[in-house]
Amino acid sequence: MTMSEAGRQPKLLAFAGHREIPDKAALGAVIRAELLSIRENLGRGMIAISRAATGADLVFLRACVELRIPAIVLLPLSENDFEDPAEQELARHLTGVALAKHVSPEGNLVEWADVLLFASDGTPSEETAEDARDLGIPTRLIHATTLETRWTIPPDASRRARHGFDTRQDLLDFLDGRFGGNP
C-alpha cells in the first residue's frame, strides 16, 4: 500500500478516560485541541471510537460532536452506569448523533485503534494505556487534573490502519457483525 492509499483509509482514534473529572470544561478544551491535532495527523477520514460512560467519555464525545468528527459509540450493557440523570440524557443525545453505536461488554476498545487518546489521573497502572503500549499504538496521555499532555509513541500518518479495512463502510459492516448491529 502506498502512502497516499494509507492516507485515504479511515483511521480510528480510540478514547478512554476516568469517570471522576475535576474540571470538565477545562478537559473539554484540551480534548478539542488534541482532536484537531490528531485529525491533522490521521487525516480527515479519522473516526473516533469511545464508550459512553459518565465522566471523561462524555466530554470526549461532546467534543467530537462540536468538531463534527464521526464517532462510533460503545454503549454499556446497562444504563445503570449513570447516577446523574442529566449525564444519562447527555449520553442519549450524544449517542443519537453517532456514526454508529453498539452495545458492548467491557473489554478492550484499542485493538483496532491507530491512536489512543487517554485522560487519566496519572495512576501508573492503567490497563487501557498498557494494552495500547503492548500493541505499539501511539497514545496521547492527558492528565485529567493538571491537563498536561504527552505522547508515549508519536503517530505515523503513513502507517496502514490497524483495522485493515479500506473504507468506512467495510469497517462499519465488520463492527455490525462483531457486535450484532446497532441497538
Strand, helix or coil at 158?
A: coil
pTM of the predicted structure, to 2 decimals:
0.85
One digit per residue, pLDDT tens: the chain, 183 residues? 333 444 568 899 999 988 888 999 999 999 999 999 999 999 888 999 998 888 899 999 999 999 999 999 887 655 556 678 888 788 888 888 888 887 766 656 788 889 999 998 877 557 788 888 888 999 999 998 999 999 988 888 788 888 888 888 888 888 777 776 555
CATH number among 1.10.287.310, 3.40.50.450, 3.40.1790.10, 3.40.50.300, domain 3-179? 3.40.50.450
Distances (CA, A) of 129 to 38, 140, 153: 17, 9, 12
- Residue 53: predicted pLDDT: 83
Contact 10, 169 (CB under 8 A): no
The pLDDT score that the predictor gives to residue 4 is 43
Q: What's the angle, vertex CA 147, arms to CA 145 and CA 148, rounded to 5?
A: 120
Identify any residues that bridge with 121 across adjacent strands, giving them in sequence order.
none
Beta-carbon neighbour count of residue 182 at 10 Å? 15
For β-strands 71-75 and 100-103, DSSP reports them as parallel
Residues 6+ apart with CB under 8 A from 103: 74, 75, 76, 77, 179, 180, 183
pLDDT on residue 101: 81
Residue 52 is predicted with a pLDDT of 86
Q: Which residues pair with 175 in a beta bridge?
A: none
What's the N-to-C CA distance of the chain in angstroms?
Answer: 35
- C-alpha 158/C-alpha 62 separation (Å) is 28
**Beta strands, E only, the chain:** 12-17, 47-51, 71-75, 100-103, 115-120, 139-143, 149-151
What's residue 141's pLDDT?
Answer: 92
